[in-house]
Amino acid sequence: MSRIILHIDLDSFYAACEERRKPEIRGKPVVICMYSGRKDSGAVATANYAARALGIRAGLPLRTARARANKETVFLPADREFYNKVSGKIMGIFRSYSDSFEQRSIDEAYLDVSEKCKTYGKAEALAKEIKSEVLRKEKLTCSAGIGPNKLIAKMASREHKPDGLTIITPRSAKKFLTEKPVEKLFGIGPKTFEVLKHYKIKTINDLACMNVETLQKEFGDRKGFLLHQHSQGIDEGEVLELEKQQLSRIGTLTKDTKNKKTIMRKLSSLTGDMFRKIRKEHISFKTVSIITINTYLDTKTRSKTLEEFTKSKELFLKEIESLLKGFLKENPDEILRRCGVRVSTFPTQKKKQKSLTEF
DNA sequence: GCGGAGATGGACC
DNA sequence: CTAACGGGTCCATCTCCGC
């Protein structure tokens, strides 16, 4: 059955939240920052369009962002708790308009509106209605894409930003994709792009012309298969509400170190923050992990799955202390820059069924 | 061979 | 243009091990 999927993305969400509650910064370049606690260190989480005009984009080191800023530019620390609240309200609006709903991140979601709309014309009208409700109730703009599946809807929503609305019908889907550079295909990051370069693949059409076997040899069965499908504009992925799989907190150490006490202090404070969330959401868990990132930015993890589900912070701290001890024993020369804690394996999680890849 | 557990890496926002 | 650089999550894959 042919579907109609809507993807909606809130425009420079963090920055827009701040502009909404701080009238005095409206119209200025606004840069939302993640500070690491070290001098001169940190990165841009979101920049509004005025800041992007100065060449300041998400992911940029703060040093660089500051160098590009003008006198007007406002730098603010990210307040994720606040953005989460705003996001929750907007996701509620999205959900109320859909047959099925899938939140992908704090600022984007898929809506399956096949039943509700039946035609692309009605879906377009619905998207306009949702956009205007979000603007009226939450004073924020968003960009929407409509297509026959999640991939096309997602890429459509990126097409016109901010405050855009792009409709790609099934018959225009191929044309919409083919001429685009292959790295614009959702799911292709730097590593995959690097490999595709060796095959002289430049456009999505080039990728569509490769045979599945080659892609599967290069990227593995599943990823190769998906690359092949996606390059043809095919995506059978359903719009489904996802259960949370894991919860983590990571932070940067004030100084690079391999001192157990220093690392444990940081892990304890991250644990405190994580447990505020765990308690608020009544989460119990079975697996506990520590995450370490050394000065070369290599990540290593250590985890342990307990016998029973638990909610106990005391037990958690005991377990991560023993994980850390073991890790430092095995890696006596690792100097850490960042570290973190994680819980996973929640009660409702069912084993994954994989039904695909017959062919 | 199948699963869970544990570890790693890619991708995205 | 690169490299540098935050925090959070999901997913695939590989290895090991017990059944």
Q: What are phi and psi of A215, to 5 degrees?
A: -65, -40
Q: Do A288 and A302 form a contact (C-beta atoms < 8 A)?
A: no
Burial of A277 (0-12, 13-18, 19+ CB in 10 A): middle
Q: For residue A212, what are its two tokens? A: 């599945």
Q: Which of residues 62-81 of A touch strand C (CB under 7 A)?
A: 64, 80
Q: Is A308 a catalytic residue?
A: no
Tokens 């960009």 — which residue? A143
Q: What is the number of alpha carbons within 13 Å of residue A80 lying toward its C-beta? A: 9
* Single-letter amino acid, residue A19: E
pLDDT tens for the 359 residues of chain A, in order: 799 999 999 999 999 999 999 999 998 999 999 988 787 778 899 999 999 999 998 888 888 899 999 999 999 999 988 998 999 999 999 999 998 999 988 999 999 999 999 999 999 999 999 999 999 999 999 999 999 999 999 999 999 999 999 999 999 999 999 999 999 999 898 888 988 998 999 999 999 999 888 898 888 888 888 899 999 999 989 898 888 889 999 999 988 999 999 999 999 999 998 999 899 888 999 999 999 998 888 889 999 998 888 999 999 999 999 999 989 988 888 899 899 999 999 886 655 444 443 33
Cα-to-chain-centroid distance, residue A277: 19
Q: CA-to-C1' distance for A86 and C8, Å?
A: 18
Predicted local confidence at residue A35, as pLDDT: 86
The residues near A279 (Cβ < 8 Å, ≥ 6 apart) are A311
- Of all nucleotides, the one whose C1′ comes closest to residue A224's CA is C12
Q: Which of A102, A108, A124, A319 is catalytic?
A: A108
Q: Do A31 and A163 form a contact (C-beta atoms < 8 A)?
A: no
* Separation between Cα atoms, residue A65 and residue A245, nearest integer Å: 34
Torsion, CA A351, CA A272, CA A248, CA A253, rounded to 10: -150
Q: CA-to-C1' distance for A112 and C16, Å?
A: 41
Q: Do A313 and A220 form a contact (C-beta atoms < 8 A)?
A: no
* Separation between Cα atoms, residue A66 and residue A285, nearest integer Å: 41
Nearest of A136, A21, A18, A123 to residue A73 by alpha carbon: A18
Q: Do A35 and A15 form a contact (C-beta atoms < 8 A)?
A: no
What letter would DSSP give residue A170? G
Q: What is the CA radius of gyration of chain A?
A: 23
Predicted local confidence at residue A241, as pLDDT: 84
Contact positions of strand B to protein Cβ (< 7 A)? 3-13
Tokens 């996802």 — which residue? A242
Contact positions of strand C to protein Cβ (< 7 A)? 3-14
Whose CB is within 7 A of strand B?
Answer: A 59, 104-108, 186-193, 286-287, 289, 298-305, 345, 351
Q: Is A27 helix (H, G, I), strand (E, B) or coil?
A: coil
Tokens 């079975």 — which residue? A286
- Of all nucleotides, the one whose C1′ comes closest to residue A305's CA is B5
- Per-residue flag: A42 CB under 7 A of strand C: yes
Q: For residue A163, what are its two tokens? A: 């405050």
Predicted local confidence at residue A351, as pLDDT: 52
* Separation between Cα atoms, residue A107 and residue A140, nearest integer Å: 11
Cα-to-chain-centroid distance, residue A271: 22
Pairing of strands A142-147, A108-112: unpaired
Predicted local confidence at residue A153, as pLDDT: 95
The length of chain A is: 359
Q: CA-to-C1' distance for A314 and B13, Å?
A: 33
- Of all nucleotides, the one whose C1′ comes closest to residue A226's CA is C12
- Per-residue flag: A248 CB under 7 A of strand C: yes
Q: CA-to-C1' distance for A234 and B13, Å?
A: 23
Q: Which of residues 195-224 of A touch strand C (CB under 7 A)?
A: 220-223
- Helix (H) or strand (E) segment spanning residue A255: strand A246-257
- Per-residue flag: A233 CB under 7 A of strand C: no
Q: CA-to-C1' distance for A131 and C7, Å?
A: 29
Predicted local confidence at residue A160, as pLDDT: 92
- Of all nucleotides, the one whose C1′ comes closest to residue A58's CA is B13
pTM beyond cutoff 0.85: yes
Torsion, CA A329, CA A333, CA A338, CA A343, rounded to 10: -20
Predicted local confidence at residue A69, as pLDDT: 93
Q: CA-to-C1' distance for A353 and B3, Å?
A: 12
Q: CA-to-C1' distance for A306 and C8, Å?
A: 23
In the sheet where A30-35 sits, what is the strand order?
A: A42-47, A30-35, A74-77
- Per-residue flag: A41 CB under 7 A of strand C: yes
